[in-house]
Amino acid sequence: MLGENLKVKIQKIAGSKIKILKKIGLTANKLTILSSLSILIAAYFFFKGQLITGGIFMLLDYLFDGIDGMFARMTNTSSKAGFILDHVSDYVIRRIWYFALAYSGFISYKIVSLAIFSLTISVFISNLAKIKKFKMPSWTMAWADWLIIPAVFTGQVVLFFQIMIIAHFILFIMNLSFMFYLNR
């Protein structure tokens, strides 16, 4: 209930902004491309060891990623190509950050492997539940990779990656439990 009320308020606020974005020629797919470019620029700065600058572009990615789908729905321009582009950006391109942080020595490649594995199984079970149309609580989630934000702005990359890995495993177990319990 709280989530739905918040969503409605955000959409009302975003409605006028989306009209402006549409007037200047932006589309949902262009916003997704801007998100992907922000990912790559953030990764470049992470490769260079510049956490704060990379973090700023990371925030731009999350901003563009947060409005591209809303833009598509509000302008009735959702498409299969946009869906694929958005998921490639979210699931594949964004992982470049992990390797850039490892390359720069902020985390180990072992932690990167665990982070990608934990994220993959968490997202897999969540998407499986959606595809199979299983009953699931509306508040469940699969992602905790937003924890990279405090990681780069505090410099505590290892700590927040460890928290993220644990969170993904908890989300996996929680979603798997809901999937079996609510659909027996």
Count of structural domains within the chain: 2
pLDDT at 153 over 60: yes
Question: Which is more confidently placed, 66 or 148?
Answer: 148
User: Is residue 9 located within the same domain as residue 100?
Assistant: yes
Query: How far apart are the C-alpha atoms of 117 and 98, rounded to whole Å?
Result: 12
User: Which domain-ending residue is among 72, 106, 140?
Assistant: 106
Residues 96 and 8 in one domain: yes
Alpha helices, DSSP H only, in 24-147? Answer: 28-47, 51-74, 80-87, 96-103, 109-131
The band of 7, judged by pLDDT with boundaries at 50, 70 and 90, is: low
Q: Please report the pLDDT score of residue 137 as a whole number.
A: 87
pTM (2 decimals)? 0.86
Q: How far apart are CA 119 and CA 166, in angstroms?
A: 10
DSSP state at residue 106: S
* Residue 1 pLDDT level (bands cut at 50, 70, 90): very low
* Percentage of the chain modeled with pLDDT above 90: 65
What CA–CA distance (Å, rounded) separates 168 from 165? Answer: 5
Contacts of 83 (CB under 8 A, 6+ apart): none
**Of the residues 71, 106, 141, the one at which a domain ends:** 106
Q: Which residues contact 165 (CB under 8 A, 6 or more apart)?
A: 111, 114, 115, 118
Confidence category of residue 107, pLDDT binned at 50, 70, 90? very high
Q: Is the pLDDT of residue 8 over 70?
A: no
pLDDT of residue 138: 80
Which residue range(s) make up the domain with 24?
Answer: 1-106
* pLDDT, average across residues 145-158: 94
Q: What is the rounded average pLDDT for all residues in the chain?
A: 89
| Per-residue model confidence (pLDDT) at position 30 | 93
How far is the CA of 5 from the CAs of 19, 63, 66, 91, in angstroms?
22, 20, 17, 28
Residue 23 has pLDDT above 50, yes or no: yes
Q: Where a domain ends, among 53, 87, 106? A: 106
The answer to whether residues 12 and 83 belong to one domain is yes
